[in-house]
Copies of this chain bind each other. A is one copy, B any other.
Amino acid sequence: MIGSLLQADFEEIIRDKDWDTLRDALSELDPSDIAELLIELPTDIEGIIFRILPRDRATEVFEHLPVEYQKSLVVSLSLGQMQQILNEMTPDDRTRLFEELPAETVRTMLETLSPEELQTARQLLGYPEGTAGRYMTPEYVALPPDITAAEALARIRRTGRGKETLNIVYIVTDKGKLLEDLRLGTLVLAEPETMIGDIEERAPVSIPASAPVGDVIASFERYDRAALPVVDKDGMILGIVTHDDVLEFAEERATKEIQKLGGSEALDAAYRDVSFRSMFKKRAVWLAVLFLGETLTASAMGRYEHAIVSVPMLSLFVPLIISSGGNSGSQATSIIIRSIALQELRLRDWAYVMRRELLSGLALGAFLGLIGAIRIILWYQLGLQSYDDHAYFMAVTVWISLIGVVMFGTLAGSMLPFILRRVGLDPATASAPFVATLVDVTGLVIYFSIASVLMYELMHRRI
């Protein structure tokens, strides 16, 4: 909002080359607002604003830019500016930027880091992508257990400046083993003479460095803390993950799930920031796979061509039957995928879910079938459609088929995410269109098989 209000003013100031006014105006804005301005302004003005900012503000603004913008900006900066910014970025933000850049550019950029910063960056980069170790920052305050609260506050005053957060400080042994976490607020409230190891606090909670991001989100949801410490397998503290990163992880994860559920690859950037070409690729691949799967329906229909030729009214209900299976499967898969992501359902729950979804499918299929049968008979009685005077046969065929197809839909939709998770794939790959395609082909076979049994005489009398 701030951005769009001021955008016109800024363009005018820059057109007038009124640098002093620009400097003053910028000094009143929050770095995140300046970042938003940069995004909305034309690229040439972007550069001017960036150069006019004091160095430390420039770094702050840079950190607020989306990674996509950082990538393009980083290339156009002078080596000096780049070095400055890289050195001052918090390690976890820097890691995220590095992840997005080609490996060669990363190597060039790592060379511009100060030796100390370089060590930090390398350490962070050693953990696999998508694990807690990759996103932690080593910028926390560590204190020994055997000092008083007053001394602890004095130490924080000496060493705390520039840390990612002071909200929580960590009590560690001199070997670096995590003993407790202590909120700064609790420390401030404590009697000054109390040993900080004795200040009553919550049970310590930590995250293994190898924990996947999903576990990190779950820990934050469960323990309501502003930051959680990351430890190695010996309980040594390596760094911390902060609440703002976790909110970002949770939103990114949901975005990926939603895009995959809709049947495209994850876009990995905002709609506007994805090029037409890249968007086409991410959508076309899955559409083509689904299309090829769906050509099986043409083969299945071909197999039942004799049935269609002898009883043409059968073809009328093909879209209705198969779409009902697809819809029920799409419901089931979206519900189950999200439950697995939120760890409400585990792999071991598959049998429970299967029983429940089969029952749901039976109930939903019977319900839809009833509507379908009533609709067919009603149209027949009202004289709207003749059904070759076999409306009741048709109604029963549709009803039974819907029970079968909807049950198969809920079963396939609910079990696929479990199967994918079991073989180590992302459950969200079981997209709604994927399930629908699977159910379409099977649905046709179910429908025509049931019709062949129920309408055997009808089909063979005709030929």
Contacts and interface: CB of A to CB of B under 8 A. Distances in A.
Interface residues of A, number: 118
Interface stretch (A70-78, A116-124, A295-303, A451-459): A295-303
Interface in A118-174: 153, 156-157, 160-161, 163, 165-167
Nearest to A292: B371
A244 to B, nearest CB: 4
B166 A183 contact: yes
A305 B244 CA distance: 59
B385 A302 contact: yes
Interface in A294-345: 294-295, 297-298, 301-302, 305, 308-309, 312-313, 315-320, 322-324, 326-328, 330-339, 342, 344-345
Nearest to A434: B327
Interface stretch (A8-16, A17-25, A79-87, A248-256): A248-256
Given A220-B247, A263-B334, A344-B272, A305 B316 contact: yes
A338 B258 contact: yes
Nearest to A323: B294
Contacts of A333: 262
B259 A257 contact: no
A316 B298 contact: yes
Given A30-B202, A301-B319, A316-B302, A263 B220 contact: no
Interface string A421-444: 000000000001100110010001
A210 interface: no
A151 B291 CA distance: 70
A167 B182 CA distance: 12
Given A189-B160, A298-B317, A317-B298, A342 B287 contact: no
A188 interface: yes
Contacts of A287: 324, 327-328, 331, 364, 367-368
A159 to B, nearest CB: 10
A433 B325 CA distance: 11
Given A184-B185, A188-B156, A345-B272, A262 B261 contact: yes
11 contacts: A153-B188, A250-B251, A251-B342, A258-B258, A263-B331, A284-B367, A295-B375, A297-B319, A298-B320, A302-B316, A326-B326
